[in-house]
């Protein structure tokens, strides 16, 4: 059974937590953090999302943001995933890591 679509209200702050699948690390080197931050900034501009704060750890990422539309949060997270996951194939194969479960 498919999961229910997420419901976000425009102009309301949202705390997004994204973890690696099975709580595995998603960042391994400094370049990984920089790439993820670059794509967050790119997604924020593209989908009109204001980022207020974020915290990177080896596994979870916490982001506090406000989207101008009801689909902005989902589009923001999809953009990051579609950019970051292809960036990591060698590292994932090396460490046998599956990137990102669903965000909440």
21-54 confidence digits (pLDDT tens): 777 788 888 888 999 999 999 999 999 999 999 9
CA separation (Å) from 10 to 23, 26, 48, 90? 30, 29, 11, 38
User: So what's the pLDDT on residue 100?
Assistant: 55
Helix axes 72-87, 30-46, angle to 10 degrees: 150
User: So what's the pLDDT on residue 99?
Assistant: 54
Q: CA-CA distance, 101 to 24, in Å (whole number)?
A: 10
Domains and CATH numbers, the chain: 13-95 (3.30.70.1290)
Distance of CA 17 to the CA centre of its chain: 8
Specify the pTM. 0.79
pLDDT tens column, 77-96: 999 988 887 777 655 555 55
Whether the per-residue pLDDT at 6 is higher than 80: the answer is no
User: So what's the pLDDT on residue 94?
Assistant: 54
């Amino acid at each position: 059974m498919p999961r229910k679509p997420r419901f976000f209200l425009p102009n309301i702050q949202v705390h997004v937590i994204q973890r690696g699948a099975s709580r595995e690390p998603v960042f391994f080197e400094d370049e990984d953090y920089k790439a993820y931050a670059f794509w967050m900034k790119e997604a924020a501009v593209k989908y009109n999302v204001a980022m207020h704060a974020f915290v990177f750890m080896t596994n979870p990422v916490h982001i506090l943001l406000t989207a101008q539309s009801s689909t902005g949060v989902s589009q923001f997270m999809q953009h990051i995933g579609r950019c970051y996951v292809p960036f990591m194939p060698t590292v994932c194969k090396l460490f046998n890591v599956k990137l990102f479960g669903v965000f909440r």
